[in-house]
Amino acid sequence: MTAPQPTLSDFLAFISTTMQVPTAALPPTSPWPGVALGISLAIVNPALQNMPIPQFDAANVQLNTGGFSIYSQCVYYLAADTLLNITPDVPGFTYFARQRRKFNLNGFTSGVVQSSGNEASNVSMVVQDAAKAFTLANVQQLKTPYGRQYLQLAQGFGPSTWGIT
């Protein structure tokens, strides 16, 4: 069975239902969802289209119906992250500016914190090997829940699928 392919209409539904972006902040005529989707389609590894999708028959529901695939989910999550980063606000609304402030999208981050401490406490966390090879784009994607979800799904299939060797 061929995995469903991402579409602009499904991404618009994702923006409305999952992201809950108000229609007034992103009018139906806005070009930015298409731009974000195009960028995402160019970046998400197409090898994810070949990932097996588990089938189950709980109350006759199958995961591979209704436009669901690991690839399409990766595309929509990365497109959502991109949308928050690039979309200008329409006059009279500050939705995207507020989201950029909320997630510190305009603030520079050069990497992940490996260790932190002060005189009263000291905490150190293990930095995953994949994080050591993060690009600036990946570090930026860590800032939004959609970018993190994209990275989680893409990394779940291994470093060669994600593109890091």
3 occurs within a structural domain: no
**Span 92-141, pLDDT tens digits:** 999 999 999 999 999 887 656 556 667 667 766 556 677 777 788 888 89
* Number of domains into which the chain is organized: 1
In angstroms, how far apart are the furthest CA atoms of the chain? Answer: 58
Please tell me the predicted confidence (pLDDT) of residue 7. 94
Residue 165 has pLDDT above 50, yes or no: no
pLDDT digits (tens, 9 = 90+) for 11-60: 999 999 999 999 999 999 999 999 999 999 999 998 888 776 655 555 54
Residue 1 lies in a domain: no
In a domain, 21, yes or no: yes
57 domain-assigned: yes
Q: For residues 110 and 73, what is the distance between their CA atoms, to the nearest angstrom?
A: 27
pLDDT tens digits for range 50-88:
776 655 555 544 444 445 688 999 999 999 999 999 999
| Residue 139 falls inside a structural domain | yes
Instruction: Report yes or no on 2 lying in a domain.
Output: no
Which domain does 61 fall in, by range? Answer: 8-162
Q: What gap in Å lies between CA 151 and CA 55, rounded to an integer?
A: 23
